Amino acid sequence: MFEGWDAVVLARAQFAFTMSFHIVFPAFSIGLASYLAVLEALWLWSGREVFINLFNYWLKIFAVAFGMGVVSGIVMSYQFGTNWSAFSDKTGPVIGPLMAYEVLTAFFLEAGFLGVMLFGLERVGQRLHFLATLMVAIGTLISAFWILSANSWMQTPAGYAVNAEGQFVAASWLKVIFNPSFPFRLVHMVLAAYLTTALVVGAVGAFHLLRDSQLAGPRVMFSMAMWMATLVAPIQILAGDQHGLNTLEHQPVKIMALEGHFQSHKDGAPLILFGWPDQDAGTVKYAAELPKLGSLVLKHSLDAPLNGLDTVPRENWPPVLITFWSFRVMVGIGFLMLGLGLFSLWPRWRGTLYQTRLLHLFAMAMGPAGFIAVLAGWITTETGRQPFTVYGLLRTAESASPLAAPAVASSLTAFVIVYFAVFSAGVIYILRLMAQVPHHGEQGPQGDIPARAAGITPAAGAVSAKGAVA
Amino acid sequence: MTVSADLATIWAFIIAFAVFVYVVMDGFDLGLGVLFPLFPDKADRDVIMNSVAPVWDGNETWLVLGGGGMMAAFPLAYAVLMPALYTPMIAMLIGLIFRGVAFEFRWRTTSSERNRWDLAFAGGSLLATLAQGIALGAILQGVHVEARHYAGGWWDWLTPFSILTGLALAVGYALLGATWLVMKTEGPLRDKAYSLSWFLLFGMLGAIGAVSIATPFLNVQYAQRWFTWPNLILTAPVPVAVAAVTVMLLRSLANKQDYRPFFLSLVLFALSYAGLGISMYPYIVPQSITIWQAAAPQTSQVFMLVGVAVLIPLILGYTAWAYWVFRGKVRPESGYH
């Protein structure tokens, strides 16, 4: 399958592949855990049945998605050692503790309370159950904190020294954790997770409203999701802009690549909207560009000089084509999200939010958009960091394990087969759950098992649901 | 053999503790997967899955702590061992994927598809278990290190000894699984778990014996560690304790007790694990790298030690609470799946 590829390229392909599959699940479960906490809080506060129905409806989906996130995440935590052992040896003393703290403060918290959240409402009562839901939601956010800190340190390393063995050593843990790009990346990613989940929730709501605009559950979820898009999409665009300015300061080469700036401009760089970057020729072919606007966006001044990749040795160039286009995909989807949010305001004001079919179709089309934007964003930032694993300090080629290419090719092949088989099944199960209408007396993961409802105790579920509502 | 109380040693004990908690917790739950083919009845399978569904995820988190903690506290050892154990590690990860998703997936399908996820649960559990046992054997027999790198091939781990440890762990986990079922179930399912426990206990004793006999032949140092004076003061009680625990375990099975068989099986695991520790210390990569050579700089180990000291007791506390919430026998009609 991968003849002729060298071991480092294979290891990179494996990381990109397994990471791309993995990130989809946490991006969804970070947002969904918070949404579940909000739904349960609304239920406890208002006592309205629609909220517990929605809670149980999304809880089943959460259970499936979370399980896939866990198993694909274990792969990531061992892949540093199996495929990137030189990287692990050199950076382990700095980013190892960050990941260890992620396990200690986040993974255990999520896992410890997940069982109670999924299956324990009747066993522990409402208050403790809400506490469990909150702990899971907080756990997902703490997890984002640490792993983004570790990733940001690789982008903008700070607070370190290098010891005699060539390992990075922390000189200041505060500077390591709160390295220059971390706050921006954390905000950008958490907002992305919230938007991604909101778009999924909105699409499911829209799907059911298209068939019946009177359904209580879909109305609530659609309205909540549209508020999220309206309010958070503009904040996200602002956060993205600030993240970009931070990148310009600390990783200017990444900006050169994602803007397609091969040439330096002394008096105002153009903004290249579209084109085909040709890395070998060092130009953007068929470029559609607006003069001087590049400097306006990046320097907030029309005539500000901007350096291009011609000031950087070629061996330090990131792959421009991928970075350039993945960035445009992300930004384009971001503005579509903004468009969806703004569009929803008009029918909402007129009182036709649940009857406007065009809006529902738009929202359904945008359902998977958050995932694509998250993937495109990560491809931009990770590809833009190349050819380094630790920006400017440790080359990717010097980070890989001393493995023969066939070993990495075999494991990559195995992961590709297993991931497509397992995770496509999971996605199908999630879509099946989403295709059902959230209904009166909705059960959580414990209640709707077909065999159980049909056979052993058909009444138990209904009774407990009533108990829960009361 | 002397043990000094420096940071590296403290961290060696912490990592060993994390791995042991993992073995204790995920051991029975992987063991249930290994035993799954012996319980073809759907109702039994539902009960078996229900008995671990609320806790399996927490159990596997200890594996992440073992791996992540090792990268943080002993990065050199992590960097050498993971490529050396490349194939077993990848196999383990793939096994864990199949069994992990089966917990949710099998409830989301029709019955014919459910069989497929039952197979995934059983096969994935067995694969992960064999891979862990093989990895253990491969570590014990030593790996080829040059400078700061693994310098062997990607099939070096495969020896009769590592196959033996792989099978031994499968028998051991199955024993934990069977005694877990004794504790958590009732009726015919529990009876079957009792009779399986007998077989598996003798299997486990055979496995402990075989691995104990084979280990000293791997390397002179292991023999010296175990059979020379004054080490004998420390090592001799281990087999004696194994014998004593075995007698207690046999009696608890004969008396059809609920909780004792599981906890005594865990003690058996703890003794075997202590035996491993005696063999390996102070090496983290046997014969090549000691815990002091592999240790991360002091700043890293101190920074994490603070977190571990505060957080591990907290984690053990709420984990115990989660087990307590789902305590007692799992009945076929019980609410959670």
pLDDT tens figures, A419-460: 999 999 999 999 999 998 888 878 877 643 433 333 333 333
Q: Mean per-residue pLDDT for A162-174?
A: 90
Report pLDDT for B333: 59
Q: Find, among B332, B175, B320, B171, the residue nearest to B252 by Cα.
A: B175
Task: Give residue A3's pLDDT band: very low, low, confident or very high (50, 70, 90).
Answer: confident
CB contact under 8 Å between B104 and A67, yes or no, is yes
**How confident is the model over A306-352, as pLDDT tens digits?**
888 889 899 999 999 999 999 999 999 999 999 999 999 999 999 89
CB contact under 8 Å between B64 and A404, yes or no, is no
CB contact under 8 Å between A97 and B72, yes or no, is yes
* Nearest by CB: A426 against B65, B96, B105: B105
Whole-number Å distance between alpha carbons of B172 and A364: 51
* Nearest by CB: B104 against A63, A93, A102: A63
Q: Mean per-residue pLDDT for B110-127?
A: 88
Among all residues of chain B, which has the CA nearest to that of A450?
A: B107
Helix/strand/coil (H, E, C) string of chain A? Answer: CCCCCCHHHHHHHHHHHHHHHHHHHHHHHHHHHHHHHHHHHHHHHHCCHHHHHHHHHHHHHHHHHHHHHHHHHHHHHHHHHHHCHHHHHHHHHHHHHHHHHHHHHHHHHHHHHHHHHHHCHHHHHHHHHHHHHHHHHHHHHHHHHHHHHHHHHHHCCCCEEECCCCCEEECCHHHHHCCCCHHHHHHHHHHHHHHHHHHHHHHHHHHHHHHCCCCHHHHHHHHHHHHHHHHHHHHHHHHHHHHHHHHHHHCHHHHHHHHCCCCCECCCCCEEEEEEEECCCCEEEEEEEECCHHHHHHHCCCCCCECCHHHCCHHHCCCHHHHHHHHHHHHHHHHHHHHHHHHHHHHHHHCCCCCCHHHHHHHHHCCCHHHHHHHHHHHHHHHCCCCEEECCCEEHHHCCCCCCHHHHHHHHHHHHHHHHHHHHHHHHHHHHHHHCCCCCCCCCCCCCCHHHHHCCCHHHHHHHHHHHHC
Pick the residue of A60, A64, A66, A71 with the most B CBs within 10 A to test the interface with B by mutation: A71
Asked whether the bond before A270 is cis by omega within 30 degrees of 0, the reply is no
CB contact under 8 Å between A169 and B297, yes or no, is yes
Q: Mean per-residue pLDDT for A407-429?
A: 91
Nearest chain A Cα distance for residue B247, angstroms: 35
CB contact under 8 Å between B108 and A119, yes or no, is no
pLDDT at B61 over 70: yes
Higher pLDDT, A81 or A232: A232
Nearest chain B Cα distance for residue A68, angstroms: 6
CB contact under 8 Å between B337 and A446, yes or no, is yes
CB contact under 8 Å between A119 and B61, yes or no, is no
User: In chain B, what residues touch A124 (CB-CB under 8 Å)?
Assistant: 325
CB contact under 8 Å between A112 and B312, yes or no, is no
What's the Rg (C-alpha) of chain B?
Answer: 20
CB contact under 8 Å between B67 and A88, yes or no, is no
Segment (H or E) for B289: strand B289-290
Report pLDDT for A456: 33
CB contact under 8 Å between A68 and B101, yes or no, is yes
CB contact under 8 Å between A445 and B336, yes or no, is yes
B265: three-class secondary structure by DSSP: helix
pLDDT at A464 over 50: no
User: In chain A, what residues touch B78 (CB-CB under 8 Å)?
Assistant: 80-81, 85, 88-89, 92
Pick the residue of B70, B93, B146 with the most A CBs within 10 A to test the interface with A by mutation: B93
* Nearest by CB: A115 against B55, B94, B120: B55
**Per-residue CA distances from A282 to A77, A455, B42, B101, B246 (Å):** 37, 69, 64, 46, 73
Among all residues of chain A, which has the CA nearest to that of B47?
A: A452
Q: Mean per-residue pLDDT for A404-408?
A: 88
Report pLDDT for B135: 92
Higher pLDDT, B50 or A173: A173
Q: Mean per-residue pLDDT for B248-256?
A: 90
Q: Mean per-residue pLDDT for B320-334?
A: 77
* Nearest by CB: B75 against A67, A68, A167: A167
Report pLDDT for A147: 93
Among all residues of chain A, which has the CA nearest to that of B317?
A: A112
Nearest chain A Cα distance for residue B101, angstroms: 6
pLDDT at B64 over 60: yes
Task: Give residue B334's pLDDT band: very low, low, confident or very high (50, 70, 90).
Answer: low
Give the range with max mean pLDDT: A253-262, A326-335, B152-161, B293-302: A326-335
Higher pLDDT, B236 or B122: B122
* Nearest by CB: A449 against B64, B299, B337: B337
CB contact under 8 Å between B82 and A82, yes or no, is yes
Among all residues of chain B, which has the CA nearest to that of A458?
A: B333
pLDDT at A461 over 60: no
User: In chain B, what residues touch A99 (CB-CB under 8 Å)?
Assistant: 68, 71-72
Q: Mean per-residue pLDDT for A89-116?
A: 90
CB contact under 8 Å between B326 and A447, yes or no, is no
**Domain spans of chain B, in order of start:** 7-325
Higher pLDDT, B327 or A218: A218
Q: Mean per-residue pLDDT for B189-215?
A: 90
pLDDT at B81 over 70: yes
Average pLDDT of chain B is 87
Nearest chain B Cα distance for residue A377, angstroms: 26
Among all residues of chain B, which has the CA nearest to that of A411?
A: B90
Among all residues of chain B, which has the CA nearest to that of A168?
A: B297
Task: Give residue B215's pLDDT band: very low, low, confident or very high (50, 70, 90).
Answer: confident
Higher pLDDT, A283 or B127: B127
User: In chain A, what residues touch B97 (CB-CB under 8 Å)?
Assistant: 71-72, 75, 418, 422
CB contact under 8 Å between A115 and B149, yes or no, is no
CB contact under 8 Å between B151 and A402, yes or no, is yes
Task: Give residue B3's pLDDT band: very low, low, confident or very high (50, 70, 90).
Answer: low
Nearest chain A Cα distance for residue B47, angstroms: 12
CB contact under 8 Å between B335 and A70, yes or no, is no
CB contact under 8 Å between B105 and A92, yes or no, is no
Nearest chain B Cα distance for residue A133, angstroms: 13
Among all residues of chain A, which has the CA nearest to that of B52?
A: A115
User: In chain A, what residues touch B311 (CB-CB under 8 Å)?
Assistant: 104-105, 108
Report pLDDT for B220: 64
CB contact under 8 Å between B335 and A119, yes or no, is yes
Q: Mean per-residue pLDDT for A401-419?
A: 90
Report pLDDT for B66: 85
**How confident is the model over B125-180, as pLDDT tens digits?**
999 999 999 999 999 888 888 888 888 888 888 999 999 999 999 999 999 999 99
Average pLDDT of chain A is 88
Among all residues of chain B, which has the CA nearest to that of A68?
A: B101
Q: Mean per-residue pLDDT for B170-195?
A: 92
User: In chain B, what residues touch A91 (CB-CB under 8 Å)?
Assistant: 75
Task: Give residue B24's pLDDT band: very low, low, confident or very high (50, 70, 90).
Answer: confident
Task: Give residue A200's pLDDT band: very low, low, confident or very high (50, 70, 90).
Answer: very high
Q: Mean per-residue pLDDT for A178-200?
A: 95
Nearest chain A Cα distance for residue B162, angstroms: 19
CB contact under 8 Å between B150 and A85, yes or no, is yes
Report pLDDT for A403: 84
Whole-number Å distance between alpha carbons of B295 and B265: 33
Task: Give residue A195's pLDDT band: very low, low, confident or very high (50, 70, 90).
Answer: very high
Q: Find, among A79, A146, A158, A86, the residue nearest to A392 by Cα.
A: A158
How many Cβ pairs closer than 8 A exist between chain A and B? 259
User: In chain A, what residues touch B83 (CB-CB under 8 Å)?
Assistant: 81-82, 85, 401-403
CB contact under 8 Å between B154 and A78, yes or no, is no
Pick the residue of A88, A165, A389 with the most B CBs within 10 A to test the interface with B by mutation: A88
CB contact under 8 Å between A82 and B58, yes or no, is no
